[in-house]
Structure 1
Amino acid sequence: MNLRDLEYVLAVVQNRNFSIAAERCNVSQPALSNQIKKLELELGIDLFLRLPGEVRPTVGGARIAEIASLVQLNVQKIKDLATEYRDPEALPLRVGVTPALAPYLTRYLSDLFGATFPNMRVIMVEDLPDSMLKKVANYELDTALLAQANRSNALDFTPVWKERLMLAMRRGHPLENRPQIFVEDVPADDLIRLPYSFGYDLEARLPVSDNAEKSNKAFDLSAARFDTVCRHLRYSDSVTIVSSVAAEFMQVEDWGMSFVPFAGPGNTRCIGAVSRPNCPRFSILKKMYDYISQQPPGGASPV
């Protein structure tokens, strides 16, 4: 048994046809069929049901194909890892960003990588913190930007900037002229909270509405995307929490909104980049971190 045999098996499973599978593998149909037959003799079971005009994997064949797919994936990981050590810039850099930051950092990250690695492809992935931590650990992402409060002890965390927590509202809102706001002054019935943490300690002290009218509202945005909630604020008396980076972007783009900074402890969060320990592409990540520390995004301050 060899890797080529597994490639043939997967091609037949995917295409349900020996001729098409052979074409995809760039071999003749007799060569592919003979090699699969040899593998079946070696394993002592039939991998496929050969029916008139159709080929189906047997129960055992389907399970073996699942394992073969994982083997192929791990072989590719080995090749990618070798490439990363040989030439860290040869492969695309996969960067994860949370939904509360991604829409407001695309231009900044584009400038960052254009300045530091103009010839390297960068893939930005938008996802929630817990999911991104798993993807970094599983080699699906190289790094992810998230709040320190959401970090994992199994991954390295490099602080890159700090940002304040703001209360966002429409222009003309009764609260907009306050120089700062305390959690006790936030209108609980008008506060839209998303079902995940932004990573600010202060969030735990935000008021929770006990008003039945709010829970029975016909138009509930608590499960909507962060960007959708922010755009909704312009036409309502609702408020929500945003980071100072998002607030800066919305002000520059003239979203028609006002922002009041929170006062009190826990009103600042540290954003950092998580990566795998002993990551072979750390030289790339360090250049990224150095750029951010010297030129943090608008609304943020260096660590």
Structure 2
Amino acid sequence: MINNFKEVIREVIRKSFTYAPDTMLSKSKAIQIENFKEVVKRFSEILALFNSLGCEKYILNTWAEYNRRFFEMCSAGLPINFLQHPIVRDTLAANPVLKKEWKPFLADLKREAPPFFLAALEEELIGSPRIVCLDPLTSPGRIVHGWTLLQFLKATDAVKNCVREDLENIVEYGGGYGGLCVIWKRLNPQVTYTIIDTPIMLSIQWTYLTSIFGEDKVNVLKTPGDIPVKGIINLMPVAFIDRNDLDVDVFVSTWALSESGALAQETIIKHDWYHAKHLLLAFQKASSSFPYAESFKEAAILRGGEVCELPYVFEGDSSAIFV
């Protein structure tokens, strides 16, 4: 009886701590809700556009099923609290969120990251993220994204200066809902940031990022020859990856490339990671669900990368390569 009472008290405290900061976010970011109400009206239109371009040959069955579940979530349009949906929790930064093992990542960030970097981790209202920290006001997903980015900046000696010429043009293969993109744009608003993804994920990213930054800051590549617009966010269908005219500074993929098919990986490698000066790659061990998870490792090592095993919840399963 006493133990049950203690559990109830703990749950009340947890919920109070987790959700009360939403009010604080609302004060500074209320405009995001108004933006979302307008842009979500175009969700079906944007999804139809991306769907018309195809992507099947680059996608494994596992992610084909995940995409189907994302479609179901968005059957009536993207819900404003989409980050609370099971498919999002199952696929995007799942382990640290579900196992509540984000605290070591946050401890590292508070010890190693400069104040301006921590400030960039403040969450958004869109998606109804689970706020678990008051300073910065942030969520487990953003904590893990921030930690991963910090390791890259440490490896490239850019922690104190993220606004460098060799970090101005970024391609992210598999952008989730757009969380890492937001952090990078907060650190350097002038960065050119291109996300490559499947139709449903691009549609979610378009809605999320447009609600935050405005429609004039998010460009959609509609044909294979479209060039990303400088200084803003660009969304590129995975169907367009077989191109050699992208010259970027940083190629990023946190688990997405390792969860892709062999053809997708071979295409990226064929184009030398779009001539990127730097690589930020995270990947898991090969499995029946993701049989090609480690296939690009040697190509990244040849570019000067070194394999580093990731700690904490990822230990023994995931590694990273920074160039």
- Settle same-fold status: TM greater than 0.5: no
- Write 1 or 2 for the structure with the bigger share of strand: 1
TM-score scaled to structure 2, two decimals?
0.27
* Structure ID, larger Rg: 1
TM-score scaled to structure 1, two decimals?
0.28
- Write 1 or 2 for the structure with the bigger share of helix: 2
